[in-house]
Structure 1
Amino acid sequence: MTKLKQGIKLLGVLLIGGLFAVFFLNYPKLDIITGYSSKSNCSCTYIAGRPEAFTDSVDNNFSPVNLADDRVSRSEQAAYASLVGLKKRKARFFPELGCILMPPQQDELTFSERPLRSRSTTSLPFPYGTAEPRDTVFPEVNYGLLTETIENAFAGNELQQTRAVLVVYKDRIIAEKYAPGFDKSSIHLGWSMTKSITATLYGILKHKSQFDLDQPAAVEEWQQDDRSKITYHHLLQMSSGLAWEEDYSRISDVTEMLFTATDMAGVASRKELLHEPGEHFYYSSGTTNLLSGLLKDEFPDLQSYLNFPYEALIDKIGMNSMIMETDASGTFVGSSYSWATARDWAKFGLLYLHKGHWNGEQIFSEDWADYVSTPAADSEGTYGAQFWLNASGVMPDAPRDTYYADGYQGQRVYIIPSKDLVIVRLGLTNGDYFDGNGLAGGVSKAIQ
């Protein structure tokens, strides 16, 4: 009997020790979990206008984020999250800045500037105004195949979770469908499609000021070592050679940056050089946020920087719903955080389809569209400058000239010059359930 008691006692000690070990090993992850939960809840509530219960049961309903206890405070315009009372995080909404994951023990921002918006309304139809699009029937469009392709994008939607599909051909909307609970006014997070927005800001800067992409990136701490060879071109093509880990399944460079860093632009700048600049492709959200921070340095003050995306691009082409979120230092989170309706995302694609020309004005030079869609070194034809490419036929049923903004969970803006097409797909797909090849390929084949 004594041995049995000793065995039970030992088992209890081992069990407690095991639980302690599991907790100790996972404790650092709590910041990521509660950071993600509070930030997502805040943005979905105050930018997208979704009920808190919907965000909990859908957008945040995946492991381990769904373990967090969260609440929305309407009086503070904030969202809180913690896990068993630990690692409490707060994200707060600031008009025109979006939701910002606040640093510990900080309730106010250290700056008061806000982007100045000039949301225009005109009587012109989509895409150049806010009036409804003109109905147009094109004889060369196989509407039966088009409808079938769009329906397939929503089939089995408990897995695909497609929320919106929009097809624009020759500046006319020829297909538009939304999942229940969503419509043309619904605002969606673009995730890494924001990278394509960031690249576009550099294209505009280059067009306005002859900015030299081949000049070394102006990072002070790089000037005394081999990182001084890294150019803006290398950063745009994800070939800087900097150390980086882009892994969202665990604590990594990218998750620490997005959910613990106050100044996200500085994270990649502190990384060591692993490869010769220009020779090794590696997808890095840190690289894009570094570009966003370097862009800030091109302006005389924070106000000018905050205004720039809106006055030069977003409001200029009538993407009135779009908001780009910043971090707590006032730098746009150029890797990940921009929101807009499907129709406004389509306008972004159309700007590239028309090579920067928008309703009588050249927003960026025509060769910029060629630049972003030219394969980066070592990318095997899959990546350009903050845009993904089909140059190597990764989507075998879509035209090879297809290039696209691509975001987590299947956010896409496909630009297909040979078909005069822009296709927008927005959703919440986890895994490989969304068939991008089927959508881009099917719609392309419907244009005969």
Structure 2
Amino acid sequence: MRISFPYLLMFSLLLFSCSSDDNASDNNNPQLEGIYFPPLASDIWETKSLEELNWDTNELQELLDYLEINNSKSFMVLHDGKIVVESYFDGHTNTSPWYWASAGKTLTTSVTGIAQDEGLLNINDKVSDYIGTGWTSTPLEKEDLITCENLLTMTSGLDDSLGDNVSSSNLQYITDAGERWAYHNVYVKLQDVIASASGQNWSSYFNAKLKDRIGMSGAWIQNGDFSVYWSNTRSMARFGLLTYANGKWQNEQIIPEAFLNDAVNTSQNLNEAYGYMWWLNGKSSFRLPQTQIQFSGELIPDAPGDMYSALGKNDQKIYISPSNKLVVIRMGNAADSENLALSDFDNQLWIRINAMIN
């Protein structure tokens, strides 16, 4: 996916810093007790020092140096919602927009859960119930096998070797839905499902049901075959914090907790390191985009075993580790060579984060 960088100037006018009325979380839920949520309508975001957490301050500079020499634009670490580290590189600032790439798939996941909770759709329904038949070029009886959940889990059975175009002619049968895991841009049809089910366009529904409720900035940009989300780094961190807090923002449940629990756990038996477009650490094997090889071992060996991640092309990252109370964000250009999701950078970065936090 090639992003046209002149979009930066155009959308910097749209993307302003975000955040809402203060405060810690709902004290009636012990899992959320102590989590800080930044205000929706200001730049205020409380901080916490490394010394308070007994983290190694000597390791911070090495971590930041590593990020800078590996083409990073921004890096944030939240602990229970408060900012511990926030750094920008190469002229980037806390208001600069950047693209999420495939890390933004998890935004579509979350909104799918919201729409289901509102009774607009059911992920077990076939996709054609919402957008009509003929959205693929497969035989009708094969198209009817593809459910919304198959799109969430990358198990549509459609041929991923034909590229990222999602026109009907390019969505061809390779096997029955549910029988093959393959990373495929066809997931974006969920945005059409939600638009049809809600009677709104995708961006309007997304803004009303997710973006505005947690104080995110940003916009969806159509770039060729891709629907790409652009925002500042703090907005990405807000979404990570919402997910860390079990889908709740202060006292409001935004993403249904049961749906989110399904999203961040193994969703099918073909790739145990994949949920509903979230990547899962701590599993015994994993598969990667553009290959049918199953690899043994954990996705990111030096990262926390309970960590789940939104991973985007060229090392756009949201890492969430509930056991460590961490949300970690990285935006920038590819750290090394171009990649679709996972890269060697993930593990090397976590080696340096561990040196700081342990």
**TM-score, normalization: structure 1?**
0.64
SS of 1:371 mapped into structure 2:
helix
After TM superposition, the structure 1 = structure 2 runs for residues 47-446 of structure 1, keeping only pairs within 5 Å, are 47-48=11-12, 122=20, 124=22, 127-129=38-40, 130-137=42-49, 139-144=52-57, 147-148=60-61, 150-155=63-68, 157=69, 160-209=70-119, 211-218=121-128, 219-221=132-134, 224-245=140-161, 253-254=163-164, 257=165, 266-267=166-167, 271-285=171-185, 287-302=186-201, 305-319=202-216, 321-326=217-222, 336-392=227-283, 393-429=298-334, 430-431=336-337, 435-444=345-354, 446=356
Whole-angstrom CA distance in 1 between matches of 2:328 and 2:71: 17
Q: Deviations over 1:150-195 (max 9, x none)?
A: 324325x2xx211111000011100111113111111111111121
1:45 Cα shift?
2.8
Amino acid across the alignment from 2:79: Y
Whole-angstrom CA distance in 2 between matches of 1:298 and 1:394: 35
SS of 2:197 mapped into structure 1:
coil
Q: Deviations over 1:9-66 (max 9, x none)?
A: xxxxxxxxxxxxxxxxxxxxxxx9xxx5xx60441231247xxxxxxxxxxxxxxxxx
Whole-angstrom CA distance in 2 between matches of 1:324 and 1:186: 15
1:176–1:434 Cα change, 3 Å: farther
1:178–1:434 Cα change, 3 Å: farther
Amino acid across the alignment from 1:217: V
Q: Are the counterparts in 1 of residues 157 and 181 from structure 2 also a CA contact under 8 Å?
A: yes
Q: Are the counterparts in 2 of residues 419 and 444 from structure 1 also a CA contact under 8 Å?
A: no
**Larger relative contact order, structure 1 or 2 (CA cutoff 8 Å, min sep 6):** 2
1:121 Cα shift?
6.3
Whole-angstrom CA distance in 2 between matches of 1:337 and 1:345: 13
SS of 1:186 mapped into structure 2:
coil
Whole-angstrom CA distance in 1 between matches of 2:178 and 2:58: 42
After TM superposition, the structure 1 = structure 2 runs for residues 7-26 of structure 1, keeping only pairs within 5 Å, are none
Q: Are the counterparts in 1 of residues 39 and 45 from structure 2 also a CA contact under 8 Å?
A: no
Where structure 1 has 5 or more consecutive residues not aligned to the other structure, the ranges are 1-31, 50-94, 97-116, 246-251, 258-265
RMSD (Å), alpha carbons: 2.9
Which residue of the other structure, out of 8, 11, 21, is the alignment partner of 1:44?
A: 8
The number of residues matched between the two structures is 318
Q: Are the counterparts in 1 of residues 18 and 235 from structure 2 also a CA contact under 8 Å?
A: no
Whole-angstrom CA distance in 1 between matches of 2:172 and 2:179: 16
Q: Are the counterparts in 1 of residues 203 and 220 from structure 2 also a CA contact under 8 Å?
A: no
Amino acid across the alignment from 2:175: H
Where structure 2 has 5 or more consecutive residues not aligned to the other structure, the ranges are 24-36, 284-297
1:327 Cα shift?
6.9
SS of 1:220 mapped into structure 2:
coil
* Structure with max Cα Rg: 1
Q: Are the counterparts in 2 of residues 281 and 379 from structure 1 also a CA contact under 8 Å?
A: yes
Amino acid across the alignment from 1:240: S
1:163–1:279 Cα change, 3 Å: same
SS of 2:85 mapped into structure 1:
strand
1:311–1:436 Cα change, 3 Å: same
1:121–1:194 Cα change, 3 Å: closer
Q: Are the counterparts in 1 of residues 21 and 38 from structure 2 also a CA contact under 8 Å?
A: no
State the partner residue of 1:6.
none
1:373 Cα shift?
1.5
**TM-score, normalization: structure 2?**
0.79
SS of 2:155 mapped into structure 1:
coil
Q: Deviations over 1:405-445 (max 9, x none)?
A: 11111000111111111000011014178621232354356
The 4+ residue runs of structure 1 with deviation greater than 6 A are none
1:124 Cα shift?
3.3
After TM superposition, the structure 1 stretch with the greater mean CA deviation from structure 2, 381-390 or 214-223, is 214-223
